[in-house]
Amino acid sequence: MSSPSPVLISVDWGTSAFRARLAAADGSALEAVEAAVGATGLTSGAHEAFLETQIGGWMRRFPGLPIMLSGMVGSRQGWVEAPYVACPAGAAEIAAAATSVPAARIGRVVVVPGLSARDARGAPDVMRGEETQILGALGAGGRADGLFVLPGTHSKWARVEAGRIVDFATFMTGEVFAALKDHSLLGRLMAPPDATDAASAADGFARGLAAAAALERPGDLLHAIFMTRTLGLFHELPAQGLADYLSGLLIGAEVLAGAQGAREACVVGSLGLTARYRAAGEALGVALAPAPENCATLGQIALLERMGAP
């Protein structure tokens, strides 16, 4: 039995990581490469050279195979800017706005645009890369509607209707956690990361979720954050549980605000982080169903089909 043929070189290139897959029609990876090289940290002109070092072998073995890139690589700070598409937008609108880049050494590459949205008060929001993952999750789940959460440094909550992303909001949960842990008084009482203690971590996370559920006014979050310190000072949580208290508090507050009263959503992302969000959702009455991990590739294949053969 021969192995399936690849249909796409699928690249997900964000702020901190590069992931490329030689993808079959069903979205599975025949081969894959990853590198801790962000698309926004390279000098102008370096993107194509780096890409060639990563996927050059595939290109020579499968000449003419389409190459598609999504993520921050399409931002002003990345390789080439693919302007934001305004919501509502589905596969048709996103495919129509994809930017085709003539690259000297590796031929044409397609860069997927990001999305923009306005909240009820008119403030703008943006995503890059998550729109492709959402398209993939829609296809994988055989659905055209629902609420999607993509946890991360900048978590996204997106609402989809009839196959189109109608609105979304970014929550800065991951970056707020890191900034407070590493650059505020709160980190001082925390045990070092190597001092693992699963029971204390689970206790801290549960305390944080309970604190999130008890918040009344938005500014109370600025108060509950400070409890990371006082729970440590009064020995009411061990040092090994303090980071998890802060994590549970912030993730819990995000889940309750992102869900806006909904009782279920689809969670898209890496296994470790989605497990954490699913535990938070379970404690807070929001069932989070996991999508496959290869949603970025699945979304790109859906876009490729929209665009027709190159």
* Site for its own copies, rule CB under 8 A: 121, 123-126, 154, 169-173, 175-176, 178-180, 182-186, 210-212, 214-227, 230-231, 233-234, 236, 250, 252-258, 260
Closest distance of CB 195 from its own copies, Å: 21
Smallest distance, its own copies to C-beta of residue 128, A? 11
The alpha helices in 11-111, defined as continuous H runs, are 46-61, 91-96
Nearer to its own copies, 51 or 280 (CB): 280
Least distance (Å) from its own copies to the CB of residue 207? Answer: 9
Residue type, 176: V
Nearer to its own copies, 150 or 255 (CB): 255
| Residue 13 or 157 having the CB closest to its own copies | 157
What are the phi and psi torsion angles at 194 (to 5°)? -80, -10
Q: Are 282 and 251 in contact (CB under 8 A)?
A: no
Judge contact between 245 and 257, C-beta under 8 A: no
Nearer residue to its own copies within complex by CB, 48 or 125: 125
Decide whether 196 or 260 has the Cβ nearer to its own copies. Answer: 260
Q: Report in angstroms how near the CB of residue 228 gets to its own copies at its nearest.
A: 9
Cα distances (Å, whole numbers) of residue 182 to 38, 112, 197, 241: 22, 34, 20, 16
CA 106/CA 40 separation, integer angstroms: 20
Q: How far is the CB of 172 from its own copies (least distance, A)?
A: 5
> Nearest approach, Cβ of 100 to its own copies (angstroms)?
24
CA dist., res. 169 & res. 116, Å (int): 10
Place of tokens 């389409």: 66
Least separation in angstroms between CB 89 and its own copies = 17
Residues shown for the chain: 310
205, 248 contact by CB (below 8 A) = yes
Q: Which residue has the tokens 């001092």?
A: 195
Question: What pairs with residue 290 in β-bridges?
Answer: 267
Query: Residue 38: which H helix or E strand, with range?
Result: none
Of residues 140, 158, 162, 136, the one with CA closest to residue 149? 158
Q: Identify the residue whose tokens are 């069932």.
A: 287
For tokens 């002109």, the residue is 45
Q: Which is nearer to its own copies, 156 or 164 (CB)?
A: 156
Closer to its own copies by Cβ: residue 120 or 198: 120
- DSSP per-residue letters across 118-157: E-TT--EEEESSHHHHHHHHHHHHT-S-EEEEE-STTEEE
Cβ at position 23, least distance to its own copies in Å? 31
Nearer to its own copies, 96 or 185 (CB): 185
Contact 225, 236 (CB under 8 A): no
